[in-house]
Amino acid sequence: KYRHHLVGIENADSVAVDPYKMFRIHNPRSIVLFKDPLSPSNLQVSPPLDMNAKWSTGIVSPYCGKDFELLKVWSLFKCLGAIGLAKMVNERIELTAKIQEEINMSENLLLLNNVEMTSCTFLYTPIKKVANRFAEPDLEKLSRVSKFLRDEILKQGTFSLYTSSTRSLESDILPPEYDQLTVMRILVRNQRTTIESIREILSQIVGIGHRYI
């Protein structure tokens, strides 16, 4: 179904995969797949922290050691198989699309990106959505609102709302190279997340935002 995303992959010497984001594994466990099994022997890194590792992939030591972490990834693949992994990916893509649709339907939520899976980034804004860019003073206020909403949602104890900066985000409503905006993000990782629970948290965000403003 999504094979078109892999057009040209046969020309690559290696491919990096992040099961942490793709397959709902809770901690980062990136892996590199090599076309040539001997390629890893040519890796050069400096300085490695794990001096006893057969192949060191950088200065960051993964949790519990590489062997143990890769066993978790292997166990996931072995347990679910190709059909199970495909079902998981399809469900995540479909849920992400529904989340973005819910955000776009709200008068007070502004979607900042358009992704197929993983992370939906958005803002609460008390004004109707506009096509023009926000001025920097307005963005500073919206950043404070995002932080307030995050803290209030956490206090309620039902949901966890994640916020981040816009250093790697491109959007038509942001001034060029503006990286100080704090935005809200919904990460589609928990397999028990449903569109009903997403609607509930979005409703809470809008309700709290109205009271705050």
Q: Are 212 and 112 in contact (CB under 8 A)?
A: no
Average pLDDT over residues 1-27: 80
pLDDT of residue 104: 92
DSSP 119: E
In tens, the pLDDT along 36-82 reads 877 666 665 555 455 455 555 555 554 556 666 677 778 888 888 98
Question: CA-based diameter of the chain, in Å?
Answer: 61
Confidence of residue 16 (pLDDT cuts 50, 70, 90): confident
Q: What angle do CA 147, 172, 195 make, to 5 degrees?
A: 55
Interacting residues of 194 by C-beta distance below 8 A, sequence separation 6+: 95
Under 8 Å CB-to-CB from 38, ≥6 apart: which residues? Answer: none
Tens of pLDDT, residues 174-203: 776 667 788 898 887 777 889 999 999 999
pLDDT, tens digit, 9 for 90 and up, residues 109-144: 999 888 887 788 899 988 755 556 677 788 888 889
Q: What is the pTM of this model?
A: 0.77
